[in-house]
Amino acid sequence: MTQENGGPRWGVVGTGGIAHSFLEGLRAVPSARVVAVGSRTAERSEEFGAAWDIPHRHADYAALAGDPDVDVVYVATPHPWHHPVTLLMLGAGKHVLVEKPMAMNALQVTEMVAAARANDRFLMEALWTRYLPVHEVARGLVADGAIGELTAVSADFGINVPYDPDHRLFNADLGGGALLDLGIYPLALASQYLGELTVVGATRRLSPDHMVDVHTTMLVRGENGVSATLDCSSRTSLPGRAVLAGTGGRIEIERFWAATDLVLHRDGREPERFHRPFRANGYEYEAEEVARRLAVGERESPRMPWSESVRLAGVMDRIRDMGSLVYSRPTVKAVPLG
Ligand SMILES: NC(=O)c1ccc[n+]([C@@H]2O[C@H](COP(=O)([O-])OP(=O)(O)OC[C@H]3O[C@@H](n4cnc5c(N)ncnc54)[C@H](OP(=O)(O)O)[C@@H]3O)[C@@H](O)[C@H]2O)c1
C-alpha cells in the first residue's frame, strides 16, 4: 500500500493554518506524496488541492476515508474533531498522524489507541517539537551528563492573540483554551525528562466568558523527583524559553517548541551553542518519523508512544479539574464521542 518510490501516500483532513504549514514541511520529504485532501466543503477542498497540486479533492471527510489511494491521513481539524475523524480513518484502514493535542481528554485518547490496535494501524500525535534535531541534541547532552544531574525544568509558551470568542483558541466548542493548545508543549517537554508527571498545583486565568483558560501556570513533579514550573498563555507573549538545569550547568532553548538552537552553559566554562537548522520549516521531521515507522511495519513511534499521549492527556485532565474550570464540561458535551 505505498507508492512506487516506497514512501506513504498522504491524505490531509482540514484545510486550515497548520495543514498548509505541514504540507510545506512534507514537501521537503523526498519520498512523500500527497494524493488527497478532505474538507467540509468542495470549495475549500478545490482551493487547497489546487494550491498544493493534490489530485483527489474530496468534499467531505468520509470520502477521503474511502479513498483507496491514501495510506496515511494527517488530521488537522480543531481538537474536538481529532477523536471522531481519527476513529473514522482508522476504521477505514488508514494510518493516522493527528495534530496535538491528540484529543480533548484521556478517555478519547484511550479510545483512539484502542482503535489503532484493533485495526492494526499506525497512530501518532503530531507533537512536532519532539522530532526537531536540536531537541535530539538536548536529549543527548542530558543523557551524557553535560549538565550533571538534572534537577529542575522550566518552560513557557505564550502568544498574545486578540480575544475573539469565535476564535478556536477561545471558543470552548472548538476546543479552546491555552492549556490544550499551548500548554501541551511545556508539559511534553517536562514529561520527556521527568517521566510520569504528578500535578502538584495549577492556577489559571479564564477568558471573559469564563469558558476557557487564557493562561495556566503549572507545577509538576516527575517520577525521578525533579520538578518543573510551566506556563502557557493565549493572551500574553511569553519568552518561550525552556531551561534544563542540573548540578553541573544548564541548557537554554529559546522558542523551544520550534527551536533550531540551544546554548549549553557548563559551570565554569564558556557557553557552547548548538545550531541545527531545519531543512524546511520543521514539520518535515515528524513526517519522516511516520514514513520511517511505516516502512518497518511499526504501529507507534518510540519518540511519542501511545502511552505518552494517554499520559499527557491525563495530566491535562487533572490540571483542568484543579480549581473550578467550568469549560471542560460544556466542551466535553460538545465533542461527538461516536
Ligand atoms: N503542530 C503545530 O505547530 C500546530 C500549530 C497550529 C495548530 N495546531 C493544531 O492543529 C489543529 C488545527 O489548528 P489550525 O490552527 O490549523 O486551525 P484552523 O486554521 O481553524 O483550521 C482547522 C481546519 O479544520 C477544519 N474544521 C473541521 N471542523 C471545523 C469546525 N467546526 N470549525 C472550524 N474548522 C473546522 C477546517 O477545514 P475544512 O473546512 O476544510 O474542513 C479548518 O480549516 C488544532 O488541533 C491545533 O492544536 C498545531
Mean pLDDT score of the chain, rounded to an integer?
Answer: 93
**In this predicted structure, what is the pLDDT of residue 156?**
98
Q: Which atom of ligand 1 is nearest to the CA of 14?
A: 37
**In this predicted structure, what is the pLDDT of residue 322?**
81
Of 292, 317, 254, which is closest to residue 107 (Cα–Cα)? 317
Which of 99, 130, 309, 331 to mutate to test ligand 1, by most ligand atoms within 8 A of the CB atom?
99
**In this predicted structure, what is the pLDDT of residue 3?**
44
**In this predicted structure, what is the pLDDT of residue 329?**
45
Is residue 317 within 8 A of residue 199, CB to CB? The reply is no
pLDDT in tens, 111-156: 999 999 999 999 999 999 999 999 999 999 999 999 999 999 999 9
Measured on CA atoms in the order 71, 74, 77, 78, is the torsion positive or negative?
positive
What residues are paired with 157 via a beta bridge? 232
Enter the C-alpha cell of residue 277.
537548522
Q: Residue 281 in 3-state DSSP? A: coil
* Spatial distance between the Cα atoms of 221 and 196, rounded to a whole number of angstroms: 8
Q: Distance from the CA of 79 to the center of ligand 1, in angstroms?
A: 8
Q: Is 100 a catalytic residue?
A: yes
Q: Which atom of ligand 1 is nearest to the CA of 79?
A: 45
Residue 161 pLDDT exceeds 90: yes
Which residue type occupies 209? D
**In this predicted structure, what is the pLDDT of residue 337?**
26
Q: CATH topology for 133-277+311-334?
A: Dihydrodipicolinate Reductase; domain 2 (3.30.360)
Express as a percent the part of the chain with pLDDT over 70: 94
Ligand 1 near 131 CB (within 6 A): no
How far from the centroid of its chain's Cα atoms is residue 127's Cα? 3
Which residue type occupies 28? A
In the chain, where the domains are located: 9-129, 133-277+311-334
**In this predicted structure, what is the pLDDT of residue 5?**
57
Question: Do 9-129 and 133-277+311-334 fold alike per CATH?
Answer: no
Verify cis geometry, omega within 30 degrees of 0, for the bond prior to 101: yes
**In this predicted structure, what is the pLDDT of residue 268?**
96
* Spatial distance between the Cα atoms of 177 and 318, rounded to a whole number of angstroms: 15
Which residue lies with its CA nearest to atom 6 of ligand 1?
A: 18
**In this predicted structure, what is the pLDDT of residue 333?**
39
Residue 274 pLDDT exceeds 70: yes
pLDDT in tens, 31-90: 899 999 999 999 999 999 999 999 999 999 999 999 999 999 999 999 999 999 999 999
Q: 291 φ, ψ to 5°?
A: -60, -40
Q: Give the gyration radius of the chain's Cα atoms.
A: 20
Is residue 204 within 8 A of residue 323, CB to CB? The reply is yes
HSE-up of 292 (CA within 13 Å, CB side)?
13
- How far from 225 is each of 72, 141, 150, 194, 205, CA to CA, in Å? 39, 20, 10, 8, 28
Which of 26, 77, 125 to mutate to test ligand 1, by most ligand atoms within 8 A of the CB atom?
77
Would you place residue 210 in the very low, low, confident or very high pLDDT band (cuts 50, 70, 90)?
A: confident
Would you place residue 323 in the very low, low, confident or very high pLDDT band (cuts 50, 70, 90)?
A: low
Measured on CA atoms in the order 138, 143, 149, 153, is the torsion positive or negative?
positive
Ligand 1 near 257 CB (within 6 A): no
Of 78, 312, 309, which is closest to residue 175 (Cα–Cα)? 78
* Spatial distance between the Cα atoms of 12 and 8, rounded to a whole number of angstroms: 13
Residue 182 pLDDT exceeds 70: yes
pTM over 0.85: yes
Average pLDDT for 103-117:
97
Class of domain 9-129: alpha beta
Would you place residue 321 in the very low, low, confident or very high pLDDT band (cuts 50, 70, 90)?
A: confident
Residue holding cell 487533572?
318
